[in-house]
Amino acid sequence: MKPRAAVFKFASCDGCQLQFLNAEDELLKLAGQVDFVYFPEARSRALEGPYDIAFVEGSITTPDDARRIIKVREESHYLATIGACATAGGIQALRNWADVEQYRRVTYPSPEFISTLSTSTPISEHVRVDCEVWGCPVDQHQLLAVVRSLLSKARPVLPAYSVCMDCKRRGNVCVVVARGAPCLGPVTRTGCGALCPAFNRGCYGCFGPADDQNMESFARLLASQGVTGDDAVRRLRGINGYVRPWRETADAIAADKK
Amino acid sequence: MSEALHMPQPALEDLIAMLWREGFKVLGPVARDGAVGFDEVRKVSDLAVAMRDTQEPGRYRLGQGAAGEIFGVVNGAFSLKPFFFAPEETLLEAKRERRGFKVSEVAPVAPPLAFIGVRACDLAALAVQDRIFLHDRFHDTHYQARRKDAFLVAVNCARSAPTCFCVSMKTGPEATTGFDLSLTELEQGFVTRSGSAAGEAIAAKLGLSAAGQNEVVSAKARIDGCAAGMQRGLDPTDLPRLLYAEAENPRWKDAASRCLSCTNCTMVCPTCFCHAVVDQEELDGNMSRRVRKWDSCFSLEHAHIHGINFRPKIENRYRQWLTHKLAAWIDQFGTSGCVGCGRCITWCPVGIDLTAEVAAIRAHPVKR
């Protein structure tokens, strides 16, 4: 029996679940191994739980979603978050530092119909998560490696070291050292294969913090490159801004400025 | 040392063409993305001609050099390491069969490589890697396949970067062993020597004449001048004992307060050989590849064993790296793991300088 898999969407752009469909060369193999019984983006037929594997995309931003994720957890034997939104709160976690009520009134002609939370939070703040797949979007190879591990009844192992390791394996010249470019690579988890530095740009931190990093030193490095105050805060409060080490560092820099 | 020959500049062009004809893929220092790196060269103008590097801890810039100077750049981020010890390669494949599975080795694809412009430090590093991968009975077949036919043209250094400290590590600035041909660049051409039978054969084909006495003197003066002008040094006196005794020196914490644990120093180090071996399964479960990748003692996972991580803090990892490199390496391999190329200093994003760390520990020991 093929495992029953489900793909759920919360507050997100759909880019991560699209990585399944973008895996064109692997799609037939994937369909041969896993039965996606609930995947609204891919098929109109949607079956009820329970599910063996749930892939959850998106963050929790509404009271309805806060209730729905609990039901998803109850129905799912194994739950993996996919992407920066589900794993860290996403870019929309910028609201966590803003006045959401004001946004609501300014943005919508009839704000009374909008029911929203004042924060965007990762899935792990609401339910137990078995595996976190980072990235904006997730890396297709990592996503399929997780599927394969689960099929083999093995614990998925995803690399958590810095982008620098893959950057050097790839033979890139360091943009920090050779160009003085601000780059989040040294404190960011690998997964993209050091994509941006390969095109001579600093890393944006799409895969969130590496497993261990020295944010105090990194903040000093940014400052030495002239990246201070709001500029430094904006770099850290990006795609994964709400995740703890980056949040705390950005908050400290912001507090310092005041 | 073999006889000194005079190689006029056009003969370098001939050398490159000859090596290609002999079946080598020829690589040399080429400017790319703001640094030099070994890349394919078909002609002298492919090399980083008339360029110079400016290096300091955490900073590297490529700029204009002396007109006509071919080997003006000391080095770049990458040594010879990636060409012999591949950053990532498949070692074997396992295919599912009707009953059980079949394992087959994956032979490395290894065209013979010729390198032009290898510095003495990098030759010394290659000897260290040879000691690791080709020692005694146990040969790493993948490393060996790439290494065995390599042709190495060394260039003796006429200037050093401020991050260089080969003199104190006794590895340079002159290449004395481990090369096929060596060059010392002069205003007009090179003084060249052969260091192997293969080198001698190539030199003979080039039809070079003996170098004049003044050229030999001038070549020596350049190398001596480079050695005399070297700014950095690492005092190797009794280093293993010092570092073992100073395992609890507060300087490790101090270094860790700066260290990003990003792994860059180990990646650019020409001798660091740590690697991870991972299995990569095909999605249908019918085939699996066993892949070897460069790894680093600065990653948290590296020290993760069943149930525990024995180097959880950056200070543990920095100490592990430096103590292994400069002390345990000697116990293990009979040679230091450091050749004084200075890459870990230049390419550290925050410019941590191991020579300064060692000096600080030496100056303020906690144990006597």
For chain A, how big is the Rg over CA atoms in Å?
A: 19
Asked whether residue B222 falls in the same domain as residue B245, the answer is no
Residue B313 has pLDDT above 80, yes or no: yes
Domain limits at A251? 163-257
pLDDT at B223: 98
Distance from CA of B298 to the nearest CA of A (A): 9
- Count of structural domains within chain A: 2
Residue B154 lies in a domain: yes
With bands split at pLDDT 50, 70 and 90, how would you rate the model's confidence at B109? confident
**Do B40 and B124 sit in the same domain of this protein?**
yes
The ipTM (two decimal places) reads: 0.95
Together in a domain, B197 and B89 = yes
Task: Supply the range of the domain harboring residue B100.
Answer: 5-228
Do B77 and A177 make contact, defined as CB atoms within 8 angstroms? yes
CB contacts of B31 in chain A (<8 Å) are: none
Out of A111, A130, A151, pick the residue that ends a domain.
Answer: A151
Q: How far is CA B291 from the centre of its chain?
A: 23
Q: Is B37 exposed, middle or buried (0-12, 13-18, 19+ CB in 10 A)?
A: buried
Same domain, A50 and A138: yes
Task: Give the chain A residue whose CA is nearest to the CA of B317.
Answer: A212
Residue A229 within a domain: yes
Q: Provide the pLDDT for residue A146.
A: 97
Domain stop point among B206, B228, B250: B228
Residue type, B199: G
Any domain includes A176: yes
Query: Which tokens sit at A123?
Result: 């899935």
Q: How many helices (H) and strands (E) does chain A have?
A: 12, 5
DSSP for A57-79, written as a single string: ESBB-SHHHHHHHHHHHHHEEEE
Span B120-147, average pLDDT: 94
In this predicted structure, the answer to whether residue B87 has a pLDDT above a threshold of 70 is: yes
Are B106 and B222 found together in one domain? yes
- At B318 the pLDDT is 98
The reported pLDDT for the residue numbered B2 is: 82
Long-range contacts (CB closer than 8 Å, 24 or more residues apart) made by A65-74: A65/A10, A65/A11, A66/A117, A66/A126, A68/A10, A69/A10, A69/A123, A69/A126, A69/A127, A70/A126, A70/A127, A72/A6, A72/A8, A72/A127, A73/A127, A73/A128
Taking an 8 Å cut-off on Cβ atoms, the answer to whether B349 and A177 are in contact is: yes
> Please, which pLDDT band fits residue B368 given cuts at 50, 70 and 90?
low
Whether A226 is in a domain gets the answer yes
A172 and A219 fall within a common domain: yes
A157: in domain:
no
Q: Which pLDDT band, with edges at 50, 70 and 90, does B270 fall under?
A: very high
On whether residue B233 sits in a domain, the answer given is: no
Same domain, A129 and A188: no
Instruction: Return phi, psi of residue A31, to 5°.
Output: -65, -25
pLDDT top residue among B308 and B2 = B308
Chain segment B20-59, per-residue pLDDT in tens: 999 999 999 999 999 999 999 999 999 999 999 999 999 9
For A116-152, the pLDDT digits (tens) are 999 999 999 999 999 999 999 999 999 999 999 999 9
- For chain A, the maximum distance between any two Cα atoms, rounded to a whole number of angstroms, is 60
| Beta bridge partners of residue B290, listed in sequence order | B92, B279
Which residue among A126, A151, A176 closes a domain? Answer: A151
Q: For chain B, say whether A214 makes contact (Cβ under 8 Å).
A: yes
Proportion of chain A above pLDDT 70, given as a percent: 100
Residues of A in contact with B350 (CB under 8 A): 217, 220-221
Average pLDDT over residues B326-332: 95
Nearest CA in chain A to B280: A145
Q: Is residue A89 included in any domain, yes or no? A: yes
Counting as low any pLDDT under 50, the low residues of chain A are none
Per-chain mean pLDDT for chain A: 96
Question: Where a domain ends, among A151, A176, A201?
Answer: A151
The answer to whether the CB atoms of B263 and A164 lie below 8 A apart is yes
Q: Which pLDDT does position B77 carry in this prediction?
A: 92
- What residues of chain A, 96 to 125, have a C-beta less than 8 Å from chain B? none
Across the interface, of A160, A164, A178, the residue whose CB is closest to B301 is A160
The three-state (H, E, C) secondary structure of A191-214, written as one string: CCCCHHHHCCCCCCCCCCECCCCC
pLDDT value, residue A256 = 87
Q: What residues 167-196 of chain A have any CB closer than 8 A to a CB of chain B?
A: 168-174, 176-180, 185-187
